[in-house]
Structure 1
Amino acid sequence: MESIQSSLKQWAVDNERFQQRLNDAKRTLLHDPVVKQALEKVDVSEEVLDQDLIKLYELQKELNHCQQCPGLSQCPNMMKGYQPELIVARKSLDLTYHPCSLKKKADNDRKQRQLINSLYVPKDILQATFDQLDPDHEREEASRKALQFALSAKPGDEGQGLYFYGKFGVGKTYLMGAVANELRDRGIQTFIVYTPDFFREMKSSIGDGTFQEKLDMVKKAQVLILDDIGAETISGWIRDDVLGAILQYRMLENLPTLFTSNYDYDELEEHLSYSERGGIEELKAKRIMERIKHYTSFVTVEGANRRVR
């Protein structure tokens, strides 16, 4: 009997100590600055506080992580890049999560990168900027017109584009990369395409059923850059059903198209007039060129071949 009484007394003492530790922990929690600040924004009873202390512990832990932020990639929070906010839901405390500033910036950067889509274009071209262009008086006029377009383009309202003509290696594609990045910063979606590989891709996509999807993706871009047009092996189908369909849609929708080429207008027309059957289809080539000429300004890119340095 004495043993039972002793055990009960010890249990009472242990329970009192546990309750004291619990009260101390609660007091410490409620005096934490981040918890106090959060509780100032809600109105709850003492009873609700007691039953939802676990939510306050979670809030304290997550927000203290944020105060000692190790960076987004090392974020220790349960939801990486998200901060908790204390709310009252159904007369109980709860937490809702919002993206932190680092998460918002990362998401925005990703969306910005997605504004430039590319097919078969080198990565260094996609990173080009006007600030990085070589100070070259021979290319000054082309650079000025490229920048002017990038700063003033209004897809859907104004469909006028540019046709950059020059010899191999003078920097036409790099200028287009700079245009694409400037447009990205303005929130304008740009698709930059290496034309020869794109046309080959379109031909092979007939077999896998993705032809129309890929065609729509390119022709509906706010700004389309067709790089190195004329370097492809032309066929009547490519000219009429791919290039012709793209240009017709963009003309009707006032969507600007930019071109780079080693051919001037007349040389490109001659190139487009040949068919895979060995015949010459001048009228069909003229139809394509009339669309290109009418909706682009011709820009000559001068300078030495930068690829042999």
Structure 2
Amino acid sequence: MDKIERTLGQLFSGRDFEKEYNTLKEKVLQYEPIRAFLNEHKDDVTEQLINQNLSSLYEFMTQDEQFRAKKETLMPGYAPKLVINGEFITVTYYPTPEKIEADKRKSVERRIRSLYMPKQILEASLDHFYTDEEERQRALVEAFDFLEHYSKDSSERVKGLYIHGNFGTGKSYLLGALARELALRGVTTTLVYLPEFMREIKQSISDNTVSEKIEFAKETEVLMLDDIGAEAMTAWTRDEVLGAILQFRMQEELPTFFSSNYNMKQLESHLTFTQNGMEEQLKARRIMERIRFLSKEVQLEGKNRRK
């Protein structure tokens, strides 16, 4: 015990704590944002209040200095602020404009679920959609018409769009831009690159997750199937996968969008012939009936913007 007391005595010997306290207090009170705060609340601030809350004032000073120097603070993304709360001066932290914008972006991103879609499609914007040709203007008008009439709380059925045209005309981009606009309005959208989705479905037979993946596509609030017609279609994927998804969404009247290099008539012909060469017109027609029920055909032409 005696050894501990001697050690503590050596540690603190010669230190003038009152002087150190007063030096720290003077430094805190000379900090300009604190001076401005105390001046603003001079009718409520007393010497006793300052002494009782010097630790809070010191915390504010150090964190504000870090924040202004763009260094990491106790709460990254938040700025410190002094508040008088009765007999206490407290430090609160409020989100910066950058933090608010970042949170907004994350909220939007959470509402856009994607399977195999490229990043640039997920960042698409209707503001950047080219309307240099009349058909492209019509396509944009149809997109805005859907946005104007669709509400997840409304009982009114609103058709999605079946967007078709040549390679590189912006069909997928328009779907991505619509998904982002819907996300800003609080609507969850799932974008699916259909050829890759169908490949994964076939591979999922071995681990018994086919039903789980189909249910995911069935029940999403808004579904967008990109590049329908580009997949190698078997009778099973056409009828038991695509057919099941579209049947459910038709019954529940859930908004569904498509993009394709085929118009609807051409897609029906594509769906008629399976991988093994079988011709099944009736089954292809059933799929097309669901697609026509769910979506409105829109042509999107123009130059290939991928080049």
Q: For the superposition of Structure 1 and Structure 2, which TM-score range results when normalised by the shorter chain?
A: 0.7 to 0.9
Q: Which amino acid aligns with 1:257?
A: T
Counterpart CA distance in 2 for 1:219 and 1:97 is 43
Paired positions, count: 288
C-alpha distance in 2 between matches for 1:23 and 1:92 = 20
Query: How well do the aligned residues superpose, as a CA RMSD in angstroms?
Result: 3.5
Q: Is there any run of 5+ residues in structure 2 with no aligned partner, and where?
A: 1-12
- Compute the displacement of 1:117 (Å): 2.7
| Cα shift at 1:232 | 0.9
CA pair 262-20 structure 1, distance change in 2 beyond 3 A: closer
Percent same amino acid among aligned pairs? 42
SS at structure 2 position matched to 1:252 = helix
Structure 1 contact 164–300 (Cα < 8 Å) conserved? yes
Contact 1:159 1:250 in 2 (8 A): no
Secondary structure of the 1:206 match is coil
**1:140 matched to 2:140:** no
Q: Within 2, Cα distance between the matches of 1:79 and 1:210?
A: 41
Measured after TM superposition, the shift of residue 161 of structure 1 is 0.8
Q: Which runs of 5+ in 1 are unaligned?
A: 1-12
1:115 aligns with 2:95: no
TM-aligned CA distance change 1:255 to 1:86, over 3 Å: same
| Contact in 1 for aligned 2:162/2:296 (Cα 8 Å) | yes
Deviation at 1:120, TM superposition (A): 2.5
* AA partner of residue 237 (structure 2): I
Per the normalisation by structure 2, the TM-score is 0.76
In structure 2, distance between residues paired with 1:138 and 1:249: 32
Give the equivalent residue in structure 1 for 2:126: 130
1:153 corresponds, among 150, 154, 161, to 150
Equivalent of 2:101 in 77, 94, 105: 105
Alignment match, 2:210: 211
- Aligned-partner residue type, residue 65 of structure 1: Q
Q: Following the alignment from structure 1 to structure 2, what is the Cα–Cα distance between the partners of residues 52 and 306? A: 63
Evaluate the alpha carbon distance shift between residue 59 and residue 303 of structure 1 in structure 2; reply closer, same or farther with a 3 A threshold: closer
CA drift at 1:186: 2.9
Equivalent pair of 2:135/2:299 in contact (CA under 8 Å): no
What is the CA distance between 1:95 and its match in structure 2? 5.1
Contact 1:151 1:183 survives alignment (8 Å) = no
The code of the aligned residue for 2:63 comes to E
- The TM-score with structure 1 as length reference comes to 0.76
